[in-house]
Amino acid sequence: MASLRRAFVASALSAALSVLAAPVQAQQLRPAVDAWRKVHEREILDEAFALMAIPNVASDTANIRRNVEFLTAAFAKRGVAMRSLRAPTGGSPALFGELKAPGATRTIVMYAHYDGQPVAGGGWNGDPFTPELRRYQNSVATDAVAMPAKGDTIDPAVRIRARSASDDKGPIIAMLAALDALKAAKKAPTVNVKFFLEGEEEAGSEHLGDLLNAHKAVLAADAWLFFDGPIHVSGAPQLVLGVRGVMGVDVTFYGPNRAMHSGHYGNWAPNPGVAVAHFIASVRDMDGRIKIAGFYEDVPPISDGDRALGKALSATDDSLRTSLGLSRTEANNAALGERIMLPALNIRGIRTGEVGGGAANAVPTSASVSIDFRLVPDQQPARICELVTRHLLSLGYTVATDPNAAARSTDRAHLAYLGCGGGYTSVSVASTLPSVRAVKTLMGRAYGREPFVMPMLGGSLPLFHFVEQLGATVITVPTVNADNSQHAPNENLRIGNLWDGIGVMAELMAGLGPLWPGGATPVMK
Amino acid sequence: MASLRRAFVASALSAALSVLAAPVQAQQLRPAVDAWRKVHEREILDEAFALMAIPNVASDTANIRRNVEFLTAAFAKRGVAMRSLRAPTGGSPALFGELKAPGATRTIVMYAHYDGQPVAGGGWNGDPFTPELRRYQNSVATDAVAMPAKGDTIDPAVRIRARSASDDKGPIIAMLAALDALKAAKKAPTVNVKFFLEGEEEAGSEHLGDLLNAHKAVLAADAWLFFDGPIHVSGAPQLVLGVRGVMGVDVTFYGPNRAMHSGHYGNWAPNPGVAVAHFIASVRDMDGRIKIAGFYEDVPPISDGDRALGKALSATDDSLRTSLGLSRTEANNAALGERIMLPALNIRGIRTGEVGGGAANAVPTSASVSIDFRLVPDQQPARICELVTRHLLSLGYTVATDPNAAARSTDRAHLAYLGCGGGYTSVSVASTLPSVRAVKTLMGRAYGREPFVMPMLGGSLPLFHFVEQLGATVITVPTVNADNSQHAPNENLRIGNLWDGIGVMAELMAGLGPLWPGGATPVMK
């Protein structure tokens, strides 16, 4: 496995990462950060435990206030005065603070969120808000591990088990420790650093747009660095340049208004299961190509550079394929890294009648399909909804947006209900932006190895708020382990990843200024 | 409505029923039967109540024995010695008895079943085995009605509410009363009449084939008359010449062996929902045409005569369509009566992932479709299964018949599980058979109106046992009301339909001899 990984990195280096100019080891700050950290591991873990012990579901306003108080005090200790930013429409406050760098020509915002996913449903080995040190084996928490004594170190493979350990309190702890480490190393940030800690990300960021809009001036910056999400599944660092947009679509077709005996009325009364199948077959082929007229009009071609980056990310495709019981994947084993740069139409579910023992010999009354579209830059959710509407019309359906329309319809077999989720657009930045190149260089320094560059995260995050409200350049710098059980029971943070997070944040704050000289704010791709 | 029905009957008469030779009113026995019945309604109802009060679920052997004892005594009273026929493999006994007609050259078997559907699940207005007289409005039991005094008559619109009232104890009561009415009218059967009362029809007739095979000699006959199932929904009598066969097929397609995030792995990991949709679209078009290679090879063309009969049955199509909220039905509003003469592929259900609020942004692990095929004469279930297998192979799938194969597969995306239900073949007789023509003439006499002739019941009944084991000619003569809530709570029998049943059975026993002279047993179509 180790040799495979080396080959992978070498290939990625040669094929895709030639944009890198500065040598990886130059002016590396990491040794100094590590030296400080090695004698302060206990203090860092104590602070992490204290923060993760405070419940942080966004709707729990009393505990949200405790988080705000804790974080305000913790940043104050590092000389950063935090204040609450609120949306005029409500919601949890975001915490904002600023560290000016004398003479700096650039301003960054370091983003994380202090709220977490709900913990209902059980499955935890211990209380979600009573952090523990645990070993993990195949994503399962096993032996408990004792806290290191002051001045001692701990095996970096040990993990902190707690809600929000990785998503996203761990990165906040890394920010605090990075400030300490810089101070200890007598280094100052070379860019103005703003901190923005969101308080309702896991609740859907409902008020975020309003909040950003209300505080545009204080939030002005040359780039936003997002410390959220995991590194590559192989354990390699990765820099994420974009996320796809998403839109949920539900379509329902109708048969008779009561289920009819299939022997007596089948092939006379229209079968909605047949309609839903023909609809799905008409919108997507077996290889993921979307057959809706006009769908690709807004889709820019993948650049050669992005294609090369996607290929570089796909060295683990074969082993993943095998682990999933698949001897082939769609489009003739096309590279996963390339596939997620394309728009996609995923069937989330189909429901009509019953199957197996419960199947009745009947023509069902309706059939529904739930779809999630993944969108790439320039694709607008509203436009997708319009194209699906047109597609249904072209198939001869009347399109209803009221789910109760079928109850009143005298023409059920020609009716299709279409529900379009709000959805949001894709956000991405070009790998050639000076800010991106500088961040990548500094990640390489901090990790001692090149990060993968992921042009597009397959999943979706509502980064569009930052683009829409602030015109921000958003660069995502994940630090936590990929198997962190984010949103799930026994969420955890590998301690080695916390140390890497401290290293990369310190490197970025101290190193961005020289590598990214001031000038006009880079233009969004 | 009355004038529409008259027009319908007139049209059916002129278009389709020209095979009829004898005038409807000739030698009619019905007035004499009615005259006797009118002064014995109370006694008939008392006997019906007594029979229907005995629980009759096939697995309830103690009560099955009580049914057998009751029926044996009831037939003995009419001079018919019943005995139990058993299958060597077990199951409820069938009751068999015989009434020889001196000089007769034909033998018929009058079939009904004395067992009934289970009553679990509630929804009954009163105990299922405590028969009541009730008025019904839109299939709902309303006012209770008192028993008529001896010698008095009852409104024929009143219904008996009890399990098996229509399915199928009512017809047995009609057999008994018909024997009484014939005796009162001093008429004797003109054909040898055998009675065969099955005891496990509602339990799937598991032992019926073995039972028939074990008693071939005593069951020899020129025709079997099946007194089961309802008359036409319009209230018109109908003669049913055949039933379609049926076969259930389940097909499952597979995705990754664990649900994968659709953003990160969608359009890379194959989506089984897409596979099931493309499969369905590949086997059936929107108008019911089956696209499986070779499917229609065994399908004989519909004769002009059958087509005309099918059209005649479809005068109510428009109003049914309207009541179902449909402005069109499949194949450009093709006549329902014709559609059910064709083989059919009905989608009973599709299941993958979730829809609506429960839909997750994931690639599901599998997708299943449940299909019921309806088969016409000459189509064999095993052959259909073979054609579906070939179709899946032609689409590039490996076909597994073990539902657990996917758990072991390393090639899930190329795997399809195919489960073929046993199924059974269609059975039908030609409308031109002398026996059929004679039955039809006598039905016309008994009802005072022509019956519809249904070449093929859309639904399926396991009549093939009688054909396979005995080479029987099976003619179905329904007598009960169409809205009898068969298999459902508040099953009922309209008393007027019971009177009609008595009339038609008496007419058949007394009239078949002269209309259907002896000779070679008619050949099955």
pLDDT digits (tens, 9 = 90+) for A356-372: 887 888 899 999 999 99
- pTM for the structure as a whole: 0.81
Q: What pLDDT band is residue B26 in, cutting at 50, 70 and 90?
A: low
Q: How far apart are CA B14 and CA A347, in angstroms?
A: 53
Quick check: A347 and B274 CB within 8 A? yes
CA of B316 vs chain A CAs: smallest distance (Å): 13
| Same domain assignment for residues B210 and B112 | yes
Give the three-class secondary structure for B462: coil
Task: Order across the sheet with B140-144: list the strands.
Answer: B140-144, B132-137, B159-161, B492-494
Is B329 part of a structural domain of the chain? Answer: no
| Same domain assignment for residues A224 and A250 | no
**pLDDT profile of chain A (525 residues), mean per 10:** 30 36 61 98 98 96 98 98 97 97 96 91 87 90 95 98 96 98 97 97 91 97 96 91 94 93 91 98 97 94 87 87 94 93 96 88 94 94 97 98 95 97 90 96 96 88 92 97 87 97 98 86 39
Quick check: B266 and A372 CB within 8 A? yes
What integer pLDDT is reported at residue B46 of this predicted model? 98
Spell out which residues of chain B touch residue A256, defining contact as CB-CB under 8 Å. Answer: 324-326
The predicted model gives B311-321 an average pLDDT of 87
Give the three-class secondary structure for B108: strand
Smallest CA-to-CA distance from B216 within B472, B504, B516 is with B472
Lowest mean pLDDT among A194-198, A219-223, B371-375, B457-461: B457-461
Q: How far apart are CA A294 and CA A390, in angstroms?
A: 10
| Same domain assignment for residues B199 and B287 | no
Nearest residue in B to A287, CA atom: B267
Query: Among the three residues A391, A420, A449, which one is the final residue of a domain in this structure?
Result: A420
Question: Based on the number of CB atoms within 10 Å of its own CB, is A326 exposed (0-12), middle (13-18) or buried (19 or more)?
Answer: buried
| Same domain assignment for residues A193 and A121 | yes
What integer pLDDT is reported at residue A12 of this predicted model? 36
User: Does the structure show a pLDDT above 50 at B10?
Assistant: no
Spell out which residues of chain A touch residue B265, defining contact as CB-CB under 8 Å. Answer: 336, 458
Q: Using the structure block, give the residue that is written with the tokens 């990160």.
A: B264
Read off the amino acid at residue A131.
Answer: P
Interface of B with A in 302-361 (CB under 8 A): 322, 324-331, 334, 336, 339-340, 342, 344-356, 358-361
Which tops the pLDDT comparison, A190 or B455?
Answer: A190
Quick check: A349 and B334 CB within 8 A? no
Angle, helices A2-16 vs A304-312, to 10°: value is 170
Smallest CA-to-CA distance from A83 within A210, A190, A219, A188 is with A219
Spell out which residues of chain A touch residue B331, defining contact as CB-CB under 8 Å. Answer: 267
Yes or no: say if B269 and B392 are a contact pair by the CB < 8 Å rule.
Answer: no
The predicted model gives B418-447 an average pLDDT of 94
Helix ranges, A314-418 (H)? 317-323, 330-333, 336-339, 381-394, 405-408
Is A266 part of a structural domain of the chain? Answer: yes
What integer pLDDT is reported at residue A310 of this predicted model? 85
Query: Among the three residues B391, B420, B449, which one is the final residue of a domain in this structure?
Result: B420
What integer pLDDT is reported at residue A26 of this predicted model? 54
What integer pLDDT is reported at residue B519 of this predicted model? 63
User: Does the structure show a pLDDT above 80 at B23?
Assistant: no
Which tops the pLDDT comparison, B52 or A16?
Answer: B52
Q: How far apart are CA A413 and CA A411, in angstroms?
A: 6
Half-sphere exposure of A124 (CA within 13 A, CB side): 22
User: Does the structure show a pLDDT above 60 at B238?
Assistant: yes
What integer pLDDT is reported at residue A1 of this predicted model? 24
According to DSSP, the β-strands at B192-198 and B366-375 are unpaired
| Same domain assignment for residues A191 and A260 | no
Substitution target in A232, A340, A348 with the highest count of B β-carbons within 10 Å is: A348
Is B7 part of a structural domain of the chain? Answer: no
What integer pLDDT is reported at residue A19 of this predicted model? 37
Is B262 part of a structural domain of the chain? Answer: yes
Q: Using the structure block, give the residue that is written with the tokens 């005072």.
A: B448
First vs last C-alpha separation in chain B: 37
Smallest CA-to-CA distance from A104 within A524, A523, A510, A503 is with A510
Interface of A with B in 361-420 (CB under 8 A): 361-364, 367-370, 372, 374, 406, 409-414
Lowest mean pLDDT among A452-456, B262-266, B468-472, B515-519: B515-519
- Supply the ipTM of this predicted assembly: 0.81
Helix ranges, A359-433 (H)? 381-394, 405-408
| Same domain assignment for residues A225 and A91 | yes
Yes or no: say if A346 and B234 are a contact pair by the CB < 8 Å rule.
Answer: no
Spell out which residues of chain A touch residue B280, defining contact as CB-CB under 8 Å. Answer: 273-274, 277-278, 281
Query: Among the three residues A386, A403, A420, which one is the final residue of a domain in this structure?
Result: A420
Domain count, chain A: 2
Both structure tokens of B110: 């009058």
CATH code assigned at A391: 3.30.70.360
H or E stretch at A435: helix A434-447
Read off the amino acid at residue A278.
Answer: H
The predicted model gives B171-194 an average pLDDT of 97
The percent of residues in chain B predicted with pLDDT above 70, rounded, is: 94
Yes or no: say if B435 and B422 are a contact pair by the CB < 8 Å rule.
Answer: no
What integer pLDDT is reported at residue B233 of this predicted model? 82
| Same domain assignment for residues A23 and A99 | yes
Chain A / chain B CB contacts < 8 angstroms: 306
Is A133 part of a structural domain of the chain? Answer: yes
Is B3 part of a structural domain of the chain? Answer: no
Quick check: B324 and A258 CB within 8 A? yes
Q: How far apart are CA A82 and CA A96, in angstroms?
A: 5
Q: How far apart are CA B97 and CA B83, in angstroms?
A: 6
Quick check: B410 and A322 CB within 8 A? yes
SS3 content of chain A, % helix, strand, coil (to 5): 40, 20, 40
| Same domain assignment for residues B213 and B282 | no
Read off the amino acid at residue B436.
Answer: V
| Same domain assignment for residues B74 and B145 | yes
Lowest mean pLDDT among B24-28, B137-141, B143-147, B370-374: B24-28
Nearest residue in B to A264, CA atom: B458
Smallest CA-to-CA distance from A356 within B371, B413, B313, B63 is with B371
Q: Using the structure block, give the residue that is written with the tokens 């597994």.
A: B400
| Same domain assignment for residues A410 and A477 | no
User: Does the structure show a pLDDT above 70 at B359?
Assistant: yes
User: Does the structure show a pLDDT above 50 at B14?
Assistant: no
| Same domain assignment for residues B175 and B42 | yes
Is A136 part of a structural domain of the chain? Answer: yes
Spell out which residues of chain B touch residue A457, defining contact as CB-CB under 8 Å. Answer: 263-264
Please say whether the dihedral angle defined by the alpha carbons of residues B187, B193, B198 and B199, taken in this order, is positive or negative.
positive
Q: What pLDDT band is residue B421 in, cutting at 50, 70 and 90?
A: confident
User: Does the structure show a pLDDT above 90 at B224?
Assistant: yes
Lowest mean pLDDT among A273-277, A376-380, B82-86, B398-402: A376-380
User: Does the structure show a pLDDT above 70 at B8?
Assistant: no
According to DSSP, the β-strands at A415-420 and A398-400 are parallel
CATH code assigned at B238: 3.40.630.10
The predicted model gives B424-446 an average pLDDT of 95
Yes or no: say if B391 and B283 are a contact pair by the CB < 8 Å rule.
Answer: yes
Interface of A with B in 504-523 (CB under 8 A): none
Smallest CA-to-CA distance from B78 within B184, B222, B151 is with B184
| Same domain assignment for residues A88 and A125 | yes
**pLDDT tens-digit profile of B143-161?**
999 999 999 999 999 999 9
The predicted model gives B313-342 an average pLDDT of 92
**Residues spanned by the domain of A438:** 17-242+426-515
DSSP letter assigned to residue A147: P
Q: Which residues contact B502 (CB under 8 A, 6 or more apart)?
A: B33, B37, B44, B174, B177, B178, B181
Q: How far apart are CA B491 and CA A357, in angstroms?
A: 25
Substitution target in A326, A329, A336, A374 with the highest count of B β-carbons within 10 Å is: A326
Cα three-residue angle B186-B41-B126, rounded to 5 degrees: 145
Q: What pLDDT band is residue B361 in, cutting at 50, 70 and 90?
A: confident
The predicted model gives B481-506 an average pLDDT of 93
What integer pLDDT is reported at residue A523 of this predicted model? 38
CA of A80 vs chain B CAs: smallest distance (Å): 37
Interface of B with A in 464-503 (CB under 8 A): none
SS3 content of chain B, % helix, strand, coil (to 5): 35, 20, 40
Lowest mean pLDDT among A147-156, A304-313, B64-73, B460-469: A304-313
List C-alpha distances in Å: A315 to A7, A236, A304, A338, B413.
9, 12, 18, 12, 21
User: Does the structure show a pLDDT above 60 at B524?
Assistant: no
- For chain B, the average pLDDT equals 91
DSSP letter assigned to residue B167: I
Is A297 part of a structural domain of the chain? Answer: yes
Q: DSSP per residue over B360-399, as a string? A: -SEE-SEEEEEEEEEE-TT--HHHHHHHHHHHHHHTTPEE
Both structure tokens of A18: 């030639």
Q: How far apart are CA B95 and CA A454, in angstroms?
A: 78
What integer pLDDT is reported at residue B522 of this predicted model? 40
Q: How far is CA B234 from the centre of its chain?
A: 17
Residue from the list B339, B360, B414 with its beta carbon closest to the beta carbon of A348: B360
